[in-house]
Amino acid sequence: MVSPVHAKIIPIGEKHVEYAKGVQSKMKELGLRVEIDVRPERMQAKIRDAQVEKIPYMLVIGDKEMENDSIAVRPRTGKDMGMMKTDDFIREVLEEIKTKKI
């Protein structure tokens, strides 16, 4: 099954939105379908909504992620995969798409 959206980017605060847009742009250039949730909701509500929407990955961005050119990865299953370099995550997702896992 092909997911309509591969990942939802969830910036923790307003100051993280610009970095989130950069991550989204990089992912879209490689053909990934990515959305950013900039609603003024709490982070947990955004994560829960993405799980309900059956989005395979939620990418949380805060200060630590910005400092390390990373994203905090949470798959829909709820298990937190922790912080990953953005390029490493993109490589993994592209491989999953190639092997039809998402």
Instruction: Give the model's confidence band at 102: pLDDT under 50 very low, under 70 low, under 90 confident, else very high.
Output: low
With beta carbons less than 8 A apart as the criterion, state whether 62 and 46 touch: no
- Residue 2 in any domain: the answer is no
Return the amino acid letter for 50: A
CATH number for position 22 = 3.40.50.800
Closest CA to 73 of 92, 52, 58: 58
The first and second tokens of residue 47, run together, are: 């994560």
- Domain extent for 23: 7-98
Q: Is residue 75 part of a domain?
A: yes
Q: Is the pLDDT of residue 99 over 90?
A: no
Question: Per-residue pLDDT for 3 more than 90?
Answer: no
* CA-only gyration radius of the chain, Å: 12
Q: Is residue 39 part of a domain?
A: yes
**Is 52 domain-assigned?**
yes
Q: Tell if the pTM clears 0.85, that is, is over it.
A: yes
Judge whether 29 lies within some domain: yes
At 54-97, the pLDDT tens digits run 999 999 999 999 999 999 999 987 778 899 999 999 999 999 88
Q: Predicted confidence band at 2 (pLDDT cuts at 50, 70, 90)?
A: low
Q: Is residue 1 part of a domain?
A: no
Residue 1 pLDDT more than 70? no
Domain count within the chain: 1
48-64 CB burial, b ≥16 within 10 A, e <16: ebbbeeebbbbbbbbee
